[in-house]
Chains A and B, each alone.
Chain A
Amino acid sequence: MSDITPKQRVLRLFAGERTDRPPCFSGMGNVTTEGLKKFGYKFAALHSNAKMMSDAAASTYKLFGFECGVVPFDLCVEAEALGCEINVYAHLEDILYPTIKKKLIHTEDEMDIRIPSDLAVRGRIPLIKETIGLIKADIGNEVAVGTYVLGPFTLAGQIMELNDLLKLSFKKPDKIGKLLDMLAAAIIIVAKEYEKAGADYITVREMGATSDVLSPRVFKNLILPYLKKIFAELKTNTVLHICGKTNDIAVSMVESGARAISVDQKNDVAETRKKIGNDSLLFGNYDPYNVLVSGTPEKVRETIRKCMDDGVSAVWPGCDIWPTVPPENINAMMDEVKKYRR
């Protein structure tokens, strides 16, 4: 039996120390319908209630031993604080993730926006801080507590039409650069608030910049400089997550200055490990839906073993864990990781 807590293992990993096995955790949402059932909560009600959000976030650890507690569950927090309207689909019973209902920028002329001076207390930012505190009080001695912010490009896609953003990235990179610079400053403000609230690690989710959508060249020239800016300012442990195709940008992701990089199932981790060397932290890369939700326990075990054999530093999903995950699958995953020895 190991005599360290999951929290110590995660913190040692971030500190660059050797661990007995990879931790099994995530920097993205991992609430489950099992957890919601236990409390009788509706998914749509979580997003605006600190107590409910905290209960739900901690339940994945309590029920399955998943080694973290993470909030929020949606990608709208920063955009909302900047002035967008969101939809949480309160009228629906199904699990639907909140989306942006009203954008901030509708035309190219409206791009010259300012960061509100009271950004840190706008929208749900105080609520997320409070929730981080609640999770820490609940399970913070045992597991690391994490949170996330969007990357500047992905945030830009939330506050303006994505089609315009993509085209202007090509036609008027200077203009987009200016916007990304401003958004990076906003993200730093928000992330520092989360640091103050005691987050053990912060993930920056820059999924909009995946090579499924954007060329590696544009990623390096236009987006990477602002990611660097963000990571240079943060003191806590940081992770840069990009999903989809990332093999051609993995080295740039490490250069961003994030303590760890996170990739999804489309990344060839064995190859990436070779490229970035053994000292860089690489988290990934099981498919949180097609394996963890719809696979068999045997398929889950096989996939998790392959992730570890390929060289991930932590077993970690390619995106948010899909809430309808069957208990036997998540149990199989935990068991497979705990059995593993380097």
Chain B
Amino acid sequence: MVTEEKRQEILEKLKNAVIQYDEDTSKEASKEALEVGLEPNDAIFSGLVSGMEEVGRLFEAQEYFVPELLMCADALYAGLDILKPHVKQLDLGVKGSVVIGTVEGDVHDIGKNIVKMMFDVAGFTVYDLGRDVPLDKFVEEQMKTDSDLVCLSAMMTTTMVGMKKVIEDLKAKNPNVKIMIGGAPVSQDIAEKWGADGYAKDANNALKDAINMISSLKKLKEEAEAKKGS
């Protein structure tokens, strides 16, 4: 059993490695965590992710900008790659998979990539379709992967309307799938009008909402199955 002192030392190292976008230290500290027998979940969430939360704050305070964010993410992924194979079951309460992409005609993908990273970190399986994604592709990919959630991003008013079509098609094919939309021109109002299940103004809120949505989805499924069984 690892001592509390050692645990704190490693967590601090992981956290700072992410904040200071130091991939090497992140890898080193992750290996050390495994060697001394630190719970991988603990290392991920109290170390790496807690560092990323601080990065989010620095971003909001405009001390960090997008390049810093991307480099911090790289440091986080470097540690995650080492720790993840040793995790038995990520303890999020939910396990979900998500299809994400920027809709056709739109190449703005900085925001989408940040949202994607949050899902990666939280242990979701992410199918990233990239940017300028033909509308049919979202439906196709959701069917193929049977994902719980589809996330659509658009940064322009003209491309945003493409989301409406994707939402209709998805709901027609699979009424159970949850859909979340976002991007600068999108609003809660629009999400409601077009029948999306969620909207978030930034990546942190996106993740929170997604977890809630998927938990409720799982609950519904379980209830339905319980009914069938009885």
Contact = CB atoms under 8 A, between A and B. Distances in A.
A293 B157 contact: yes
Contacts of A213: 65-66, 110
A99 B132 contact: yes
A100 B132 CA distance: 10
Nearest to B132: A99
B25 to A, nearest CB: 15
A94 interface: yes
A166 interface: yes
Interface in B39-98: 62, 65-68, 70-71, 74
B104 interface: yes
B26 to A, nearest CB: 15
A218 B66 CA distance: 12
> Interface majority SS on A: helix, strand, loop or mixed?
loop
B70 A167 contact: yes
Contacts of B105: 89, 92, 94, 96-97, 99
Given A162-B109, A289-B157, A215 B65 contact: yes
Interface of B: 62, 65-68, 70-71, 74, 104-105, 107, 109-110, 113, 132, 156-159, 161-162, 185
A274 interface: no
Contact of B65 (A89, A100, A211): A211
16 contacts: A94-B158, A94-B162, A96-B104, A97-B158, A99-B105, A99-B132, A166-B66, A166-B70, A170-B71, A213-B66, A214-B66, A214-B67, A215-B67, A218-B67, A289-B157, A289-B185
Interface in A85-134: 87, 89, 92, 94-97, 99-100
Given A211-B62, A215-B68, A293-B157, 15 more contacts: A92-B105, A94-B161, A95-B158, A96-B159, A97-B105, A99-B105, A100-B107, A162-B109, A163-B70, A167-B71, A211-B65, A214-B65, A214-B67, A218-B65, A218-B67
A322 interface: yes
Contact of A99 (B62, B67, B107, B158): B107
Contacts of A214: 65-67
Interface string A270-305: 000000000000000000010001000000000000
Interface in A24-42: none
Contacts of B104: 96
A332 to B, nearest CB: 20
A250 to B, nearest CB: 16
Interface of A: 87, 89, 92, 94-97, 99-100, 162-163, 166-167, 169-171, 211-215, 218, 289, 293, 322
B76 to A, nearest CB: 14
A169 B159 contact: no
Nearest to A320: B156
Nearest to A89: B105
B113 A163 contact: yes
Contacts of B62: 211
A166 B161 contact: no
Given A94-B161, A289-B157, A322-B157, A166 B67 contact: yes
A304 B118 CA distance: 40
A96 B158 contact: yes
Contacts of A97: 105, 156, 158
A218 B68 CA distance: 11
Sorted from nearest, which 7 A-B pairs have the closest CB atoms?
Answer: A96-B105, A166-B67, A215-B65, A213-B66, A99-B107, A170-B67, A167-B70
| Residue with the greatest number of chain A CB neighbours at <10 A, chosen from B107, B161, B162, B185 | B107
A289 B68 CA distance: 30
B221 to A, nearest CB: 36
A216 to B, nearest CB: 9
